[in-house]
A and B are shown apart, each in its own frame.
Chain A
Amino acid sequence: MAVCIAVIAKENYPLYIRSIPTENELKFHYMVHTSLDVVDEKISALGKALVDQRELYLGLLYPTEDHKVYGYVTNSKVKFVMVVDSSNTALRDNEIRSMFRKLHNSYTDVMCNPFYNPGDRIHSRAFDSTVTSMMTQVC
Chain B
Amino acid sequence: MPPGLLSQYSDLERTSYEWYIPKGILKTGWMNKHLNLVPALVVVFYELDWDEPQQSLQGRNTKVAVVLIQKKTPLPPEFVVFGIMFEMLGDTTKFLLFVRHQFKIAFFSELKQDTQNALKNYRTAYNLVHELRAHETNILEIKTMAGFINYKICRLCFQHNTPLDAIAQFRKHIDLCKKKIGSAELSFEHAAWMSKQFQAFGDLFDEAIKLGLTAIQTQNPGFYYQQAAYYAQERKQLAKTLCNHEKFFFEGTDLSQGVCTYNVDVKDLCSVSYLKMGCVLYTGFDLSDPEKEKVGVLAIQLKERNVVHSEIIITLLSNAVAQFKKYKCPRMKSHLMVQMGEEYYAKDYTKALKLLDYVMCDYRSEENNGHAFKVSSSNLDIFVLFLVQCKAKFHAPSFHVDVPVQFHIYLKADCPHPIRFSKLCISFNNQITSVDLVLGNESGRCVVLSWQGGGGDAASSQEALQASRSFKRRPKLPDNEVHWDSMIIQASTMIISRVPNVSVHLRHEPPALMNEMYCLVVTVQSHEKTQITDVKLTAGLKPGQDANLTQKTHVTLHGTELCDESFPALLTDIPVGDLHPGQQLEKTFYVRCGTVGSRMFLVYVSYLISTTVKEKEIICKCHKDETVTVETVFPFDVAVKFVSSKFEHLERVYADIPFLLMTDVLSASPWALTIVSSELQLAPAMTPVDQLESQVDKVVLQTGESASECFCLRCPSEGNVEGGVATGHYVISWKRTSALETVPVISTTITLPHVIVENIPLHVNADLPSFGRVRESLPVKYHLQNKTNLVQDVDISVEPSDAFMFSGLKQIRLRILPGTEQEILYNFYPLMAGYQQLPSLNIDLLRFPNFTNQLLRRFIPTSIFVKPQGRLGDENSIAAA
Contact = CB atoms under 8 A, between A and B. Distances in A.
B373 A14 contact: yes
Interface stretch (B271-279, B326-334, B483-491, B792-800): B326-334
A37 B220 CA distance: 14
Contact of B368 (A13, A34, A41): A13
Interface in B350-384: 366-369, 371-375, 379
A36 B375 CA distance: 13
Contact of B373 (A32, A62, A64, A120): A32
A34 B366 contact: no
B335 interface: yes
A13 B372 contact: yes
B694 interface: no
B223 interface: yes
A38 B372 contact: no
Given A9-B368, A13-B368, 8 more contacts: A13-B371, A14-B373, A26-B375, A26-B379, A29-B375, A33-B331, A37-B331, A64-B227
Interface in A74-93: none
A36 B223 CA distance: 15
A62 B371 CA distance: 25
A38 B218 CA distance: 7
A43 interface: no
Nearest to A25: B374
Contact of A11 (B324, B368, B379): B368
B852 interface: no
Contacts of B379: 26
8 contacts: A9-B368, A9-B371, A13-B372, A13-B373, A30-B335, A34-B335, A37-B217, A65-B227
Interface string A1-29: 00000000101111101000000011001
Given A13-B368, A38-B217, A61-B218, A29 B373 contact: yes
Contacts of A11: 366, 368
Contacts of B227: 64-65
Contacts, number: 61
Contacts of A34: 329, 331-332, 335
A37 B328 contact: yes
Contacts of B335: 30, 33-34
B828 interface: no
A64 B367 CA distance: 26
B518 interface: no
A11 B368 CA distance: 8
Given A13-B366, A61-B218, A62-B223, A37 B372 contact: no
Interface string B404-438: 00000000000000000000000000000000000
A54 to B, nearest CB: 19
Contacts of B230: 65
A16 to B, nearest CB: 10
Nearest to B171: A63
A67 interface: no
Size band of the interface chain A makes with B: 20 to 34
Contacts of B366: 11-13
Interface in B119-169: none
B373 A17 contact: yes
Contact of A14 (B218, B223, B328, B372): B372
A129 B398 CA distance: 46
B808 to A, nearest CB: 90
A13 B367 contact: yes
A121 interface: yes
A122 B574 CA distance: 58
A65 B372 CA distance: 26
4 tightest Cβ-Cβ pairs between the two chains A and B: A37-B329, A13-B368, A34-B332, A13-B371
A30 B230 CA distance: 14
B331 A41 contact: no
B218 to A, nearest CB: 5
Contacts of B328: 37, 41
B229 to A, nearest CB: 12
Contacts of A38: 217-218, 329
Contacts of B372: 13-14
A14 B375 CA distance: 11
Size band of the interface chain B makes with A: 20 to 34
Most buried by A among B217, B368, B371: B371
Contacts of A14: 371-373
Interface in B207-254: 217-218, 223, 227, 230
Given A13-B366, A41-B217, A62-B218, A36 B371 contact: no
A118 B130 CA distance: 56
Nearest to A35: B331
B331 A29 contact: no
A64 B330 CA distance: 17
B329 to A, nearest CB: 4
Contacts of A32: 373
B171 to A, nearest CB: 9
Most buried by B among A30, A38, A41, A121: A30
Interface string B298-338: 00000000000000000000000000100011111001000
A37 to B, nearest CB: 4
Contacts of A25: 374
Contacts of B368: 9, 11, 13, 119
A36 B371 CA distance: 16
A120 B223 CA distance: 33
Contact of A37 (B332, B367, B371): B332
A80 B718 CA distance: 81
Contacts of A41: 217, 328
Contacts of B373: 13-14, 17, 29-30, 32-33
A39 to B, nearest CB: 10
A38 B330 CA distance: 10
A121 B218 contact: no
Contacts of B374: 25-26, 29
B236 to A, nearest CB: 17
B367 to A, nearest CB: 6
Contacts of B174: 65
A51 B790 CA distance: 77
Contacts of B332: 34, 37
Most buried by A among B217, B330, B373: B373
A65 B174 CA distance: 10
Most buried by B among A13, A15, A62: A13
A8 B239 CA distance: 39
A29 B331 CA distance: 12
Contacts of B371: 9, 13-15, 121
A36 B368 CA distance: 16
Nearest to B363: A33
A130 B453 CA distance: 57
Contacts of A17: 373
Most buried by B among A34, A119, A121: A34
A34 B363 CA distance: 11
Contacts of A12: 366
Contacts of A120: 369
Interface in A107-126: 119-121
Contacts of B223: 62, 64
Contacts of A65: 174, 227, 230
A13 B371 CA distance: 6
A64 B229 CA distance: 13
Nearest to B368: A13
A126 B230 CA distance: 38
A33 B333 CA distance: 11
Most buried by B among A9, A32, A33: A33
A23 B783 CA distance: 117
A54 B225 CA distance: 34
A37 B324 CA distance: 10
Nearest to A60: B218
A126 to B, nearest CB: 20
Interface string B614-658: 000000000000000000000000000000000000000000000
A19 to B, nearest CB: 11
A119 B331 CA distance: 21
